[in-house]
Amino acid sequence: MTASIPSTVHTRFAGRLVFVGFGSIGQGVLPLILRHIGGMSPERIIIVTADLAGQAEAEAYGIPFLLQPLTQENYRQILQPLLAPGDFLLNLSVDVSSVALIELAGQQGALYLDTCIEPWPGGYTDPNVPASLRSNYALRESALALRKIRPGGPTAVITHGANPGLVSHFVKQALLNIATDLALPVRDPVSREDWAALAARLGVKVIHIAERDTQTSFVPKAVDEFVNTWSVDGFVSEGSQPAELGWGTHEKTLPADGHRHDFGADSAIYLMRPGAGTRVRSWTPLAGHYQGFLITHGESISISDFLTLRVGDDVRYRPTVHYAYHPCDAAVLSVHEFAGRNWHLQSRKRILMEDIAHGVDELGVLLAGHARNAYWYGSQLSIEEARALAPHNSATSLQVTVAVLSGMIWAMENPMRGIVEPDEMDFRRNLEICAPYLGPVVGAYSDWTPLYQRGELFPETLDTSDPWQFSNIRV
| 184 and 56 in a common domain | no
The type of residue at 196 is: A
Per-residue pLDDT averaged across 154-172, rounded?
98
| 327 and 193 in a common domain | yes
Decide which of 126, 157, 188 is a domain's last residue.
Answer: 157
Decide which of 157, 180, 209 is a domain's last residue.
Answer: 157
Phi, psi at residue 346, to the nearest 5°? -60, 165
Report the C-alpha gap between 151 and 134 in whole angstroms.
26
Q: Contact 30/405 with Cβ under 8 angstroms?
A: no
| 223 and 202 in a common domain | yes
Strands 373-382 and 441-446: antiparallel
Indicate the range of 71-75, 150-154, 204-208 predicted with least confidence. 150-154
| 127 and 268 in a common domain | no
Q: What is the pLDDT of residues 256-308, one digit of tens each?
A: 999 999 999 999 999 999 999 999 999 999 999 999 999 999 999 999 999 99
Report the C-alpha gap between 383 and 37 in whole angstroms.
25
> Within 94-152, where are the H helices?
98-108, 136-144, 146-149
Q: pLDDT at position 459, please?
A: 67
Please indicate, yes or no, if residue 55 is contained in any of the structural domains: yes
Please indicate, yes or no, if residue 260 is contained in any of the structural domains: yes
Q: What is the pLDDT of residues 200-231, one digit of tens each?
A: 999 999 999 999 999 999 999 999 999 999 99
Q: pLDDT at position 78, please?
A: 98
Please indicate, yes or no, if residue 310 is contained in any of the structural domains: yes
Residue 2 — very low, low, confident or very high, per pLDDT cuts 50/70/90? Answer: low
- Measured at the CA of 310, the angle between CA 306 and CA 313, to 5 degrees, comes to 120
| 224 and 121 in a common domain | no
Decide which of 123, 157, 191 is a domain's last residue.
Answer: 157
| 174 and 54 in a common domain | no
The answer for 62, left when phi > 0, alpha when psi is -120 to 50, beta otherwise, is left
| 115 and 206 in a common domain | no
Per-residue pLDDT averaged across 77-102, rounded?
97
Task: Find how far residue 91's CA is from the centre of its chain.
Answer: 14
- Predicted TM-score (pTM) of this structure: 0.97
Number of separate domains in the chain: 2
| 331 and 272 in a common domain | yes
Please indicate, yes or no, if residue 402 is contained in any of the structural domains: no
Please indicate, yes or no, if residue 206 is contained in any of the structural domains: yes
Report the C-alpha gap between 327 and 228 in whole angstroms.
8
Q: How deeply is 4 buried, as exposed, middle or buried, from its count of CB atoms within 10 A (0-12, 13-18, 19+)?
A: exposed
Please indicate, yes or no, if residue 1 is contained in any of the structural domains: no
Q: What is the pLDDT of residues 20-53, one digit of tens each?
A: 999 999 999 999 999 999 999 999 999 999 999 9
Flag whether pLDDT at 92 surpasses 70: yes
- Residue 119's domain spans which residues? 11-157
Phi, psi at residue 435, to the nearest 5°? -50, -40
Residue 21 is inside which H or E element, if any? none
Report the C-alpha gap between 90 and 96 in whole angstroms.
12
DSSP assignment letter at 6? P
| 170 and 110 in a common domain | no
**Residue 430 CB contacts under 8 Å (≥ 6 apart), including other chains:** 166, 169, 403, 406, 407, 410, 422
| 44 and 86 in a common domain | yes
| 115 and 46 in a common domain | yes
Q: Contact 419/156 with Cβ under 8 angstroms?
A: yes
What is the C-alpha radius of gyration for the chain, rounded to an integer number of angstroms? 21
Residue 457 — very low, low, confident or very high, per pLDDT cuts 50/70/90? Answer: confident
Q: By C-alpha distance, which of 50, 63, 53, 177 is closest to 118?
A: 50
CATH of the domain at 366: 3.30.360.30
Report the C-alpha gap between 285 and 306 in whole angstroms.
26
Please indicate, yes or no, if residue 22 is contained in any of the structural domains: yes
Q: pLDDT at position 266, please?
A: 94
Please indicate, yes or no, if residue 5 is contained in any of the structural domains: no
Flag whether pLDDT at 458 surpasses 90: no
CATH of the domain at 53: 3.40.50.720
| 246 and 195 in a common domain | yes
> What is the Cβ-side half-sphere exposure of residue 228, based on CA atoms within 13 angstroms?
21
Report the C-alpha gap between 74 and 77 in whole angstroms.
5
